[in-house]
């Protein structure tokens, strides 16, 4: 290997396993067969592998802080209701422990350097990975830095870090089934960025519910999790020759902007178009009409992630954790399509979900028209 420091990439190549398996073995985490673990440890010893100096310093000198690096444009971040609730959950769990949260908001191009600085400056004992991507470059970086981390949701390709997951799928599918029960047959989706795991999951749930009902996928527009993106996406949908009678949005902020865009066209919600959001932000119950949306316990998610990261930073093995899934909250922004609508579709038999299937994912709030 010459004068270069041996990394887990070198160990993985020689041992013929993945970097994740090496990280599991070296950090004494479950999930690796005993014979594989023994081979990895032998290869690491033969190659002279040792933790990086910053990682070694972290293990002997605690920073008593966890890191959260957010790589979103400030204009979009300022509208996002997720992070205040998630950070509140982190802080609620950290306060009794004396730990602090180190927050960095960076440009996408500087994101990886943000993690490197945290390790180099010995500022944190571990990090939260939010906004998980389909191909997330942060995973191999943090594995190579030997920095403890927890991910919000799971990567399909796997990760050596514990995943603290909250399933959006039941609530999104319940929303589509609710609209189908009301008589809608042309249901559109305003999605978040496709490279985010949660954006892709909500889109997949919308598609799956329509497929199971024997209905074609309605039009799909990307809205970027912003008010402006939601408004532009809604106008595109309403300008179609045959606009949808219902729209499922990947976030409340996009859905609320969609309500305004519909009113610009003098459309009545829900008579002309039904609208469903996701997040159940505090504003959702107070707009007119009150927004049907999906509620996730984001504060509880933050607390669960913090407990897991605390255990991991202390050197304890930490399994994946599944939080309670999101639930559909029914309010006044959804209703039957207009009887005289030229977009009304013929009824499809056999698509109504059973009461038992709805019970765990739907909560009724407020009066209905």
Cis peptide before 304 (omega within 30 of 0): no
Q: Judge whether residue 39 has pLDDT over 50.
A: yes
Distance in angstroms (rounded) separating the CA atoms of residues 185 and 217:
9
pLDDT at res. 365: 56
Convert the pLDDT of each residue in 97-117 to its tens digit: 888 999 999 988 899 999 999
149-152 and 293-295 as β-strands: parallel, antiparallel, unpaired?
unpaired
pLDDT at residue number 156: 77
Q: Alpha helices of 27-78 — where are they, by DSSP H?
A: 34-47, 53-60, 74-77
Give pLDDT tens digits for 270-316: 999 999 999 999 999 999 999 999 999 999 999 999 999 999 888 88
- Token readout for 49 is 């592998």
Task: Give the burial class of 340: count Cβ atoms within 10 A of its Cβ; 0-12 exposed, 13-18 middle, 19 or more buried.
Answer: exposed
Q: What structural domains and CATH numbers belong to the chain?
A: 1-37 (no CATH), 169-296+326-364 (3.40.50.2300)
- The mean pLDDT of 145-162, rounded to a whole number, is 88
Query: Across residues 125-130, what is the average pLDDT?
Result: 96
Does the pLDDT value for residue 30 go beyond 70? no
What are the residues facing 188 on neighbouring strands?
247
Per-residue confidence (pLDDT) for residue 36, from 0 to 100: 85
Banded pLDDT at 57 (limits 50, 70, 90): very low
Q: How confident is the model over 111-138, as a mean pLDDT?
A: 93
Specify whether the CB–CB gap between 294 and 175 falls below 8 A: yes
CA dist 76 and 302 (Å) reads: 21
Three-class HEC string of 79-140 = CCCHHHHHHHHHHHHHHHHCCEEEEEECCHHHHHHHHHHHHHCCCCCCEEECCCECCCCHHH
112 neighbors 138 (Cβ within 8 angstroms): yes
- Residue 328's DSSP bridge partners are 294, 362
Q: How confident is the model at residue 353 (pLDDT cuts 50, 70, 90)?
A: very low
pLDDT tier, 38 (very low <50, low <70, confident <90, very high otherwise)? confident
What's the pLDDT band for 1 if we cut at 50, 70, 90? Answer: very low
- Amino acid 153: pLDDT: 93
Taking each helix axis from N to C end, the angle separating 19-26 and 34-47, rounded to the nearest 10 degrees, works out to 90
Q: Which pLDDT value is given to residue 350?
A: 38
In this prediction, residue 354 carries a pLDDT of 41
Statement: residue 74 has pLDDT above 90:
no
Of 195, 132, 209, 139, nearest in space to 164 by CA: 132
Share of the chain above pLDDT 70, in %: 86
What lies within 8 Å, CB to CB, of 133 at 6+ separation is 195, 196, 197
Cβ atoms of 232 and 209 within 8 Å: the answer is: no
Local structure of residue 18 (DSSP, 8 states): -
Q: What average pLDDT does the chain have?
A: 86
**By percentage, how much of the chain surpasses pLDDT 90?**
60
pLDDT at 52 over 70: no
Mean pLDDT lowest for which of 19-23, 42-46, 226-230, 301-305?
Answer: 19-23
The whole model's pTM is what? 0.78
Query: What count of residues does the chain have?
Result: 369
Element containing residue 12 per DSSP (H, E): helix 8-15
**The predicted structure's pLDDT at residue 369:** 38
Find all residues with CB under 8 Å of 341, minimum gap 6, and list them. 245, 272
Q: What per-residue confidence (pLDDT) applies to 314? A: 85
């Amino acid at each position: 290997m010459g004068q270069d420091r041996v990394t887990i990439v070198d160990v993985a190549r020689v041992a013929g396993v993945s970097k994740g398996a090496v990280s599991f073995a070296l950090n004494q985490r479950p999930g690796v067969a005993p014979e594989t673990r023994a081979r990895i440890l032998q290869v690491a010893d033969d190659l002279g592998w040792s933790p990086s100096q910053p990682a070694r310093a972290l293990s002997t000198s605690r920073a008593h802080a966890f890191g959260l690096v957010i790589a979103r444009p400030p204009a979009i971040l300022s509208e996002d209701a997720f992070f205040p609730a998630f950070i509140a959950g982190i802080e609620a769990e950290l306060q009794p422990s004396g730990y602090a949260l180190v927050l960095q908001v960076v440009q996408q191009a500087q994101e990886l350097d943000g993690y490197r600085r945290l390790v180099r400056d010995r500022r944190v004992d571990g990090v939260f990975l939010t906004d998980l991507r389909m191909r997330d470059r942060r995973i191999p970086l943090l594995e190579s830095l030997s920095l403890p981390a927890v991910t919000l949701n799971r990567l399909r390709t796997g990760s050596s870090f514990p995943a603290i997951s909250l399933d959006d799928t039941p609530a999104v599918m319940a929303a589509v089934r609710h609209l189908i029960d009301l008589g809608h047959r042309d249901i559109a989706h305003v999605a978040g960025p496709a490279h985010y795991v949660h954006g892709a999951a909500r889109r997949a749930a919308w598609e799956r519910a329509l497929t199971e009902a024997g209905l074609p996928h309605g039009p799909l527009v990307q809205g970027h999790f912003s008010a402006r993106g939601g408004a532009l996406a809604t106008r595109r949908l309403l300008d179609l020759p045959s606009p949808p009678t219902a729209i499922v949005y990947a976030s409340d902020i996009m859905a609320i902007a969609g309500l305004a865009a519909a009113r610009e066209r003098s459309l009545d919600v829900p008579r002309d178009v039904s609208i469903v959001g996701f997040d159940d932000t505090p504003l959702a119950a107070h707009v007119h009409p009150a927004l049907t949306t999906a509620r996730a316990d984001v504060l509880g998610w933050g607390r669960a992630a913090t407990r897991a990261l605390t255990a991991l930073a202390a050197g304890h093995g930490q399994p994946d954790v599944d939080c309670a899934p999101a639930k559909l909250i029914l309010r006044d922004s959804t209703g039957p399509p207009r009887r005289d609508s030229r977009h009304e579709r013929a009824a499809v038999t056999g698509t109504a979900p059973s009461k038992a299937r709805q019970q765990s994912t739907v909560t009724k709030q407020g009066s209905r028209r």
